[in-house]
Each structure stands twice: as structure tokens, then as C-alpha cells.
Structure 1
């Protein structure tokens, strides 16, 4: 990409952001996900438009078009995730459930302690209420795919942990399905002890590793 295209890319990205950014806001840290989505979409759209040059009019014009379209798409997707995350935070009652908006997807982290008894894959009655709340949210925002991922600590054999994590993921996915979420949207997988988020050397760390994550990814 030549200097002209690079200049256009930056200018169009900033122009797109100007439509959705508070004048008082400065820097990426002050942007919400819709604004960050607009920036990313503008940059990606400019690159794609600049390289394709489908109408033979010169890459500059295609970069501008791509940036504008990309910014609009990115802002819409980011805004939807912002609203869905806010709705989830209101619907889920247990304060130990973490809801993280990563910008391109949502992550719902449910610790083992609120879901299961030790070595069990049966979801507790209290936790089921929050899972049904998640299911209602997924039905309100149907344009996404859902990955339910089970994780364990490293206590016991790796094969046992893999099996337990798979059964737990399937139990959580089954409740989402019972709550009306289409089974075709959901994939349940077990990762066993392979993806720790804390050290397994302490009980606190092992407790953090025993979890189920629900990953909500918008359809492209």
C-alpha cells in the first residue's frame, strides 16, 4: 500500500470515529466498543477497498468507500455487543459470574463453585436460574454462535479431567438449549486442565481454573 493509500486510510478512520466519539474523549481507553469497532472496521475496510480496486478508479476511492462501510459495520457490531453485555449484567444475579466484553465477542465465566459439586457434572438449581437468564439473553440477540467450554484444574489424571470438563460443558449447553436456544447455535467442548488462568500450585488458583466459559461470537 503506497503513502497515498495509507494517508487516506488514517483520515477516513478518524472521520468515521468523529461521528461516534465524544469530543471530550481522547485515546482508545476512552472509547466504548462501538467506537473501537468503528475504528477497526474503518481500517480493515480501507485496506480491503484499497487492494481490490474493483471499479478500476484508483485505489484511493476504493479505500475511502471501504473505510466508510467498514466503520459502519464495526460500529453496529460493537454497539450490539455493548447492549447485550449490559443486558446480561442486569439479568445474571450471581456476582461471581464474570461478563467480559472483548470487543469482538462476549465471555461469560462461571466458576465451578456456583455450578457443580466436586467431581459432578450436575448443575445446581441456583445456577440454573442464571443459565436460563443467559438463554433468554441469547434468544433476544439471536445473531450469534455460542461455544460452551469446560475447564478443570490439574488434580487427578488428565484423561479424567478432560472427560469431566466435557460433561460439564454439555450440562451447561443442555440448559441453554432447554431455555430455548437453538442447538445448532451451540457447541460444547471440554479443555480439561490444558488452559489454566491461574497457577495450579495454590487452592485459590485451582479454584479459578475450575470453570465453564460461555463464549458468544456474533455471526459475521
Structure 2
């Protein structure tokens, strides 16, 4: 059983900022190029600092940085494209938020009112998500349950927990590695619409799946970030000729006493 993390009733969810256009529009190529551009700038700076010839170092670093930056973006672009193709017409919304993907599943296709039992019509959508996650296993998966404000806060927290856990367990049952999945419950603390109307409450009753890249690029070593600085060399060990052993006192042999002052 996976551990479910519940937010406090006073806390809201914090999400990475990004562009969220039409749920089935394209635009993945722009994310790849954006990642490549950022990686190129960072790589150029590191390359210039790592060599005396700043022009050559910047060019090499820019190429390496662009490849690294585009790699994460391109990997997520492919997942986004496949999710949109698999989920088109299912009422499931796919949003791009930086290098993360958010899959929003509304209540009318996921669970009946006041229930944590997955509706039979929801299985095809979950199967499609599981298929994409199996093919792209270098990501983590966060399943979060949300409710409206009907009922007590404590009950809604428990209900959102059971719903998130049901989705997480189903994805694991479809072959998604359980260690990649985390279930969270938000209850009624993170509404996306007003709870004063039925349509608003329906929007708030939802399950969200956030897919994040599992690996992030590492920072450059400190000595590469400071021009002209190089780490000190490790001193070589003291040379000892082969066959040489330090003299040791012979038991019983006379040894001259050591005087603290010169013997005049």
C-alpha cells in the first residue's frame, strides 16, 4: 500500500508555472526549442569558463548544453503528444506546465458522487495513461484527489485520499512501477471554481495526475565556475628506495643520551 500525503486544510497546492493552452493543441516543439535555448546559454557560460579560449569553450559548451536542455523537453514533448492522441475525445484534459504534464480527470467520468469506486467508463482513459507511462519510465507520477465543499473538511480529506489511492493502485496494476507513483489528498482545499454553483462544484471534484521528469541536470563543479581557478594538485607520496628500511634500535645496545643543551 502506497503512502498517501494529505495537505493541511489551511494550505493550498503549489504548482510550477507554465503555459496551459487548448488541451488538445500542439506546441510541443516550442518547449523542446525553449529547453535547448536555455541549455545552450548555460552550456556556453560553463564552456567559456572552463577554458582559456573563451570562444571555443563557449561553442562547445553551447552545443552540449543545447543537447541536454532539449533532451528533457523532447522527452516530455513525446509523452504530451501521445497522451493527447490517446485521450482525445475522453473529456480528460492534458496541460503542459514547464517540463511537467498535468492530466486533469473530471468527476463525471471518474467517480460517482460520494464514492471512491472507479466508474467502468473511466477504465479506458486510465489504460491509455498507463500505456504512455509504461513507455516513458523516466518520470514520476503524482496522483492528487480533490473534492467540493459538500460535507465536513475531515470527510472530504478522507474521500479525496480514497480516490487518489484508487487511481494510483489501478495504474500500478496496469504495469506502472509502484515506486514511481505517489498519492496525495487535497480534499476541498484547492478549488478551481466556485463551490456556490453545481457546475463549479463539479469542476472541483476531480483527480489530477502530474508527470514530472525523474532526472535533472547536475550543476557544474565549482572550479569550472571561477575563471583561472583550478583545484590544487594532490602531493606525490614521499619516495622510498626499494629495499630501504628505517633503522630501529637494537635491544641492549648502548645509545648516547640526548642532552637538552649543547655539550660544551
Length-normalised TM-score, structure 2 = 0.65
Q: Does 2:100 correspond to 1:102?
A: no
User: Is 2:51–2:57's contact at 8 Å kept on the other side of the alignment?
Assistant: no
Figure out how many residues of one structure are paired with residues of the other and give that number: 189
Measured against aligned partners, the alpha-carbon deviations of 1:40-73 in whole angstroms (never above 9, x if no partner) come to 22334445x279x4x4638776655444322211
**Matching residue of 2:212:** 217
CA RMSD of aligned residues (A): 2.3
Alpha-carbon distance in 1 for matches of 2:54, 2:148: 52
The correspondence for 2:33, drawn from 29, 32, 35, is 35
1:140 is displaced (CA, Å) by 0.7
Contact 1:111–1:211 (CA under 8 A) maintained in structure 2: yes
Q: Is the 8 A contact 2:145 2:163 kept in 1?
A: yes
Gaps of 5+ in 1: 1-28
CA, structure 1 residues 169+44, in 2 after alignment: closer, same or farther (shift >3 Å)? farther
Q: Which residue of 2 aligns with 1:177?
A: 172
Determine the C-alpha separation between the residues in 1 that align with 2:28 and 2:180: 33
Counterpart Cα distance in 1 of 2:128 and 2:29: 28
Aligned equivalents of 2:192, 2:157: Cα separation in 1: 16
1:123 match: 118
Q: 1:31 to 1:84 in 2, by over 3 A?
A: closer
Q: Which has the higher helix share?
A: 1
CA distance in 2, matches of 1:44, 1:163: 45
CA contact (8 A) 2:47 2:62 kept: no
Matches within 5 A, 1:129-168: 129-168=124-163
Are 1:41 and 1:75, in contact at CA under 8 Å, matched by a contact in 2?
Answer: yes
Q: Report deviation, 1:82.
A: 1.7
Counterpart-to-counterpart distance in 2, 1:154 and 1:46: 51
Q: What TM-score comes out, normalization by structure 1 length?
A: 0.77
Q: Work out the CA distance in 1 between the residues paired with 2:44 and 2:162.
A: 45
Determine if contact 1:82/1:101 at 8 Å carries over to the other structure.
Answer: no
